[in-house]
């Protein structure tokens, strides 16, 4: 990691992340009081956020995973590749799709249309980061950690060619 030290600038610190994730957990816990949640984490980028978020939610909560890919390196390919195998049963359940970042919105549009057709009792979107200036389709997060400008960012699960996911903060390259 030392060799990579000067290649990025910290944008959101570990402390800010920890505070915000706890706030989101509290908000979700209070809004879903008396209910059970199925958190659907998009792999791989949202795995660290979803792990922290799940631990800050105080109502019963199941975790499901789905693999989605739309980026190659630091640019969007414009098409979304989703692996729909091993999806937990969604019908009648309160689901929250947990995403690392909303950029064009194409991934979440495809995922939310797919999940909605399966008949959940309710469906919301929780994104750790949001880049509204990049949006190509009309998608909004019900819960969002931080709004950021149009930077390519890494850390806290987000990668560049599979590197940097383990940084405990968000940095721009
Ligand atoms: P969208 O479909 O909204 O354009 O893109 C969503 C996916 O693109 C995210 O789940 C993430 O994998 C990738 N992505 C978008 N912006 C960034 C970014 O700034 N950094 C990284 N590492 N990935 C990004």
Local confidence band at 3 (pLDDT 50, 70, 90 cut-offs): very low
Query: From ligand 1's centre to the CA of 77, what distance in Å?
Result: 10
Enumerate residues 6+ apart whose C-beta is below 8 A from 23: none
pLDDT digits (tens, 9 = 90+) for 66-96: 998 777 778 877 777 887 777 788 999 999 9
Residue 103 CA, ligand 1 centroid: distance in Å: 6
Tokens standing for residue 167: 């940084």
Residue among 42, 76, 145, 172 whose CB has most ligand 1 atoms within 8 A, to mutate: 76
Q: Which atom of ligand 1 is nearest to the CA of 134?
A: 4
Q: Residue 47: CB within 6 Å of ligand 1? A: no
pLDDT in tens, 104-151: 999 999 999 999 999 999 999 999 999 999 999 999 999 999 999 999
Report field, pTM of the whole predicted structure over 0.75 = yes
| Bond into 44 cis (ω within 30) | yes
pLDDT in tens, 6-31: 688 999 999 999 999 999 999 999 99
Query: Interhelix angle for 14-31 vs 47-56, to 10°?
Result: 50
Domains of the chain (ranges; CATH) run 15-65+88-148 (3.40.50.2020)
CB 96 within 8 A of CB 24: no
* Residue 76 CB–ligand 1 contact under 6 Å: yes
Share of the chain above pLDDT 90, in %: 82
| Ligand 1 centroid distance, CA of 152 (Å) | 8
Report the mean per-residue pLDDT for the chain. Answer: 92
Question: Ligand 1 mean position to 32 CA, how many Å?
Answer: 28
Q: How far is the CA of 145 from the CAs of 1, 113, 117, 152, in angstroms?
A: 26, 23, 27, 17
Q: Which residues are catalytic?
A: 103
SS (H, E, C) 144-164: EEEECCCCCEEECCECECCEC
Q: Is the CB of 109 under 6 A from ligand 1?
A: no
Which residue's CA lies nearest to atom 19 of ligand 1? 152
Does the CB atom of residue 157 touch ligand 1 within 6 A?
no
Q: Residues 138, 159: contact at Cβ < 8 Å?
A: no
Q: How many residues does the chain have?
A: 173
The CA radius of gyration of the chain, in Å to the nearest whole number, is: 16
CA torsion sign for 158, 162, 168, 171 is negative
């Amino acid at each position: 990691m030392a060799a990579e030290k000067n290649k990025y600038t910290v944008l959101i610190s570990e402390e800010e992340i920890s505070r915000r994730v706890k706030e989101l957990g509290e908000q979700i816990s209070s809004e879903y009081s008396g209910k059970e949640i199925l958190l659907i984490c998009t792999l791989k980028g949202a795995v660290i956020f979803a792990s922290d978020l799940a631990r800050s939610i105080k109502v019963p909560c199941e975790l499901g995973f789905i693999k989605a890919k739309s980026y190659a390196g630091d640019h969007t390919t414009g098409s979304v590749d989703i692996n729909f195998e091993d999806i937990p049963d969604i019908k009648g359940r309160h689901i929250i799709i947990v995403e690392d970042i909303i950029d064009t919105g194409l991934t979440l549009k495809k995922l939310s249309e797919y999940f909605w057709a399966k008949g959940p009792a309710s469906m919301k979107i929780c994104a750790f980061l949001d880049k509204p200036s990049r949006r190509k389709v009309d998608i909004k997060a019900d819960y969002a950690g931080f709004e950021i400008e149009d930077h390519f960012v890494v850390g806290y699960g987000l990668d560049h060619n599979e590197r940097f996911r383990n940084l405990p903060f968000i940095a721009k390259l």
